[in-house]
Structure 1
Amino acid sequence: MTQDIFVTLPNDKLVLASSSQTRQTMLANAGIAFQIQSAPVDEASLRDAALAEDMAKDDIAVLLADMKAQAVSMRLAAGDDSYIIGADQLLVCDDVIFAKPHDAKAAEQHLQALSGKTHQLITAAVIYRQGQRIWHHIETADMTVRTLDDNFISAYVKAMGDAALYSPGAYQIEGLGVHLFSQIKGCHYAILGLPLLQILGFLRPHGLVPMVASSGLPA
């Protein structure tokens, strides 16, 4: 993440409530000034409780994103006006939510289950300020996995190594994951884990400007 800063909130901070390297890289590559405060939450327990209450999948994604941003917001000192971004993503196939695989064998099993089918990636993002959620957005992408044979799946998971365990579908589309798909419908940024276009659209009216403009120099 060596990209120069291009835009900033001159009077406030932008905080990403995530330890996701992909989300951090997206913001950095876009030249956005931000800080990182990860907010570990018990996602599995929250997801299971929400499913037990028959909560809609979209609402579960928002709930998980919300809890991350809320956790960071509660750490801030009184009067802190930071904008806090929380995000989460669910992979849903045949109405089943997939968790991240815990080992290579589980990653292979996930890919066998996704093979030849279209699954959904539901990406939710929220923004907190002064302890309150002030914005949220949900984006759904349709991801069609081509029919994969066991030899390909085994070779793919081996080539991915530990990275196969970083996402429920054992893929990152910006890398080797592109070989899994026959069709993708959805926003590229949301598929990577952050609906960046909508976040920027929200932040601009709240003061997000180029660094030169914020310094009073001609833009």
Structure 2
Amino acid sequence: MTSLSRERIVLASKSESRRAMLEAAGVDFVVRPAAIDERALEANMEGADPAEIAQALAAAKAATVDCDGLVLGSDSLVEVEGRRFDKPASREEAAKHLRHFSGRTMALHSAAALARDGRIVWIGSDFARLHVRELSDEFIAAYLDAEWPAVSHCVGVFRIEGPGPQLFESVIGDQFTVLGMPLLQVLGALRQEGALLA
């Protein structure tokens, strides 16, 4: 594929969906996952708005990776009726999350940040609302048979690019945000920073 980049960026994330989005958009990048304690950062921001927490996590990832160029950090956070959910630590916890989501509306906050030489130069975020249908225990078990452990890396216990759409009655929001990154905002910021052809 022809690159539309002027500069190779660093993606500070292990996320396959974020990698796929950047590849499809023609962005030249390398992957160097950031090593940060996400739970500790969240604990320090107890009571903060979920969008702020997602932005802080994205910024921490971008600023942590040591390199000379432009670093992209991104994070997603799920909230249901005021309660935040992290990635499930086990299949049993994933099933608990899905039972809690059943029949409720999930707010998915996705944020991204760019750092140059360890200094944040841009932060953006977006959110989507996903209404979860009523999920039977039989469906949850079959779904996790098919999707575990792939969804262990996903807040919300779903991959929208996989069987995840079967969880929902409706999705309101940008497709890229649901995939885990506000891509159009990111591309605009990369152009502003001179990393992409304008």
Query: Could you state the TM-score of these two structures normalised by the residue count of structure 2?
Result: 0.94
Gaps of at least 5 residues in structure 1 are 211-219
1:120-139 paired onto structure 2 within 5 Å: 120-139=107-126
Q: Give the aligned residue type for 2:107.
A: Q
Matched residue, 2:23: 28
Q: Give the aligned residue type for 1:154.
A: A
Which of 35, 43, 48 does residue 43 from structure 2 map onto?
48
Matched residue, 2:3: 6
Report the number of matched residues. 197
- Is the 1:17–1:39 Cα contact (8 Å) retained in structure 2? yes
Q: Give the aligned residue type for 1:142.
A: R
2: CA distance, partners of 1:37 / 1:101: 23
CA deviation after TM superposition for structure 1 residue 190, in Å: 1.2
1: CA distance, partners of 2:57 / 2:2: 29
- The DSSP-based 3-state class of the residue aligned with 2:189 is helix
Which of 42, 46, 57 does residue 50 from structure 2 map onto?
57
2: CA distance, partners of 1:141 / 1:164: 19
- Is the 2:128–2:173 Cα contact (8 Å) retained in structure 1? yes
CA deviation after TM superposition for structure 1 residue 113, in Å: 0.2
1: CA distance, partners of 2:193 / 2:39: 34
The worse-fitting range, judged by mean Cα deviation, of 35-44 and 201-210 is 201-210
2: CA distance, partners of 1:203 / 1:167: 25
Matched residue, 1:209: 197
Which of 74, 99, 102 does residue 86 from structure 2 map onto?
99
2: CA distance, partners of 1:42 / 1:13: 26
Identity in percent = 37
1: CA distance, partners of 2:98 / 2:13: 26
Query: Could you state the TM-score of these two structures normalised by the residue count of structure 1?
Result: 0.86
- Is the 1:5–1:28 Cα contact (8 Å) retained in structure 2? no
Gaps of at least 5 residues in structure 2 are none
Task: State the Cα RMSD in Å.
Answer: 1.3
Q: Which has the larger radius of gyration?
A: 1
CA deviation after TM superposition for structure 1 residue 206, in Å: 3.3
CA deviation after TM superposition for structure 1 residue 203, in Å: 2.0
